[in-house]
């Protein structure tokens, strides 16, 4: 199907791929990608650039972010719905209901499988020509996996806020993440000091009241605490303040507040994020609910200690699969994934050291989601990579300012 609007042409592509690329004759799923190019015959001859979205478990953009218009000036942009998202055989509690071995199925939704899908899509669209990759956040992790296992398919790679620790365990990741989340809490409450008392009042009210979200599930203090996941984004940082300032209707939590909290803490639209989030760090060992275990090392997040409320960030806890209706049916599968001991490697450190594909990477100095020090160590290890370290942007810099992509394109093409 072809659509035209806003001065652009949109072409949908659907491709059947193996669920398990090691078993090409086994069950198959579909992946979907939307090609975006400028109008006119000249655009049809431009090289391809595939965009790998952050996540895991997020579909490609449905709007027109500023980076997309910039990229379309030089490329035919391929917006890939990574497997399990959007129109790529979506993964939800409904679609998983008929699958007997859910954990075994879900184990095929990491970066290695996404890269293998991308290679089949490249063969369909570009033939034997390599294409360019733009990876944002988790999409950058996928780009590093791409460089590890299929560099022949790459012309150039651009990464924004997504250089992973090549050998970091899940525990390493979360042990480094909790202090960064605390720092973003301090920044938030410095900007809005009155919100400390409101946050405490909300937590106390949730202990005393049976506050129900629109789906009928109870909002507990610890689930409310997870709303800090948005503090690492410039676009959403201040939304927490506007949520808190309308939290109460008299002495009760307002209906408006509960609806907005539900939109922020429910995984109904993105269950794959919760189910495989720790698995993206698994290499050769079980992750074992690392975020939950490591949290005890940071008493500032203890809601029972009597101190100020501090929100958590991009952490997934086992009790979420008891409290979020969208995740309850996936609890057993998630627990099995947390105990899986034999995750395959996601990165080839030797091949990355010898890399010859041009790479440019933005490392956000104050990134809440991806550790700066791990990113810089990875940047130093990957051959032919030029890093740009900046504190001008938060993790969502790519979507906020087209100059981010413009600068990285110049770096990678010099």
Q: Which residues are catalytic?
A: 137, 342, 395
Element (H, E) at 256: helix 255-265
Phi-psi region of 86 (alpha: psi -120 to 50; beta: other; left: phi over 0): left
SS3 32: strand
CB atoms within 10 A of CB 323: 17
Q: Residue 48: name the closest of 166, 151, 142, 130 by CA.
A: 130
Phi-psi region of 350 (alpha: psi -120 to 50; beta: other; left: phi over 0): alpha
Contact between 333 and 106 under an 8 Å Cβ cutoff? The reply is yes
Report strand pairing: 248-249 vs 154-160.
unpaired
CA 171 to CA 246: how far, in whole Å?
37
Report residue 309 as tokens: 């409320």
What are the two backbone dihedrals, phi and then psi, of residue 251, each rounded to the nearest 5 degrees? -100, 0
DSSP letter string over 233-254?
-TTTTTHHHHHHTT-EETTEE-
CA 200 to CA 317: how far, in whole Å?
22
Sign of CA dihedral 133, 134, 137, 139: negative
Residues in CB range of 398: below 8 A, 6 or more apart: 65, 67, 136, 160, 161, 362, 404, 405
Longest dimension (CA), the chain: 65
Instruction: Report the half-sphere exposure of 370 (CA within 13 A, side-chain side).
Output: 31
CA 296 to CA 409: how far, in whole Å?
42
């Amino acid at each position: 199907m072809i659509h035209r609007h806003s001065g652009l042409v949109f072409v949908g592509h659907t491709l059947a791929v193996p669920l398990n690329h090691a078993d090409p004759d086994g069950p198959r799923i579909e992946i979907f990608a939307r090609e975006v190019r400028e109008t006119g015959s000249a655009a049809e001859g431009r090289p391809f650039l595939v965009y790998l979205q952050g996540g895991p478990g997020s579909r490609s953009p449905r709007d027109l972010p500023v980076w997309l218009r910039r990229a379309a000036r030089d490329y035919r942009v391929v917006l890939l719905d990574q497997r399990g998202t959007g129109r790529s055989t979506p993964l939800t509690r409904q679609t998983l209901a008929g699958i007997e071995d859910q954990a075994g199925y879900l184990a095929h939704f990491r970066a290695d499988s996404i890269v293998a899908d991308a290679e089949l899509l490249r063969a369909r669209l570009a033939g034997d020509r390599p294409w360019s990759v733009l990876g944002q956040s988790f999409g950058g992790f996928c780009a590093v996996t791409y460089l590890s296992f299929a560099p022949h398919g790459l012309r150039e790679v651009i990464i924004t806020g997504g250089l992973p620790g090549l050998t970091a365990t899940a525990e390493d990741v979360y042990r480094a993440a909790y202090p960064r989340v605390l720092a973003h809490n301090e920044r938030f409450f410095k900007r809005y000091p009155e919100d400390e008392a409101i946050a405490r009042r909300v937590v106390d009210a949730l202990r005393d009241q049976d506050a129900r979200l629109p789906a009928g599930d109870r909002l507990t203090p610890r689930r409310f605490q997870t709303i800090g996941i948005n503090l690492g984004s410039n676009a959403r940082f201040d939304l927490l303040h506007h949520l808190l300032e309308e939290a109460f209707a008299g002495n009760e939590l307002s209906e408006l507040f509960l609806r907005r909290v539900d939109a922020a803490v429910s995984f109904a639209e993105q269950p794959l994020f919760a189910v495989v989030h720790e698995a993206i760090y698994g290499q050769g060992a079980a992750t074992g609910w690392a975020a939950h275990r490591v949290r005890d090392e940071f008493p500032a997040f203890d809601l029972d200690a009597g101190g100020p409320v501090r929100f958590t960030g991009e952490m997934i806890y086992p009790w979420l699969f008891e409290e979020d209706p969208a995740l309850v049916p996936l609890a057993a599968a998630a627990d099995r994934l947390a105990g899986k001991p034999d995750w395959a490697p996601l990165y080839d450190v030797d091949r990355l050291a010898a890399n010859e594909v041009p790479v440019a990477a933005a490392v956000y100095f104050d990134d809440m989601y991806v550790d700066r020090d791990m990113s810089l160590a990875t940047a130093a290890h990957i051959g032919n990579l030029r890093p740009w370290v900046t504190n001008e942007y938060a993790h969502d810099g790519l979507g906020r300012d087209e100059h981010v992509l413009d600068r990285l394109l110049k770096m990678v093409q010099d």
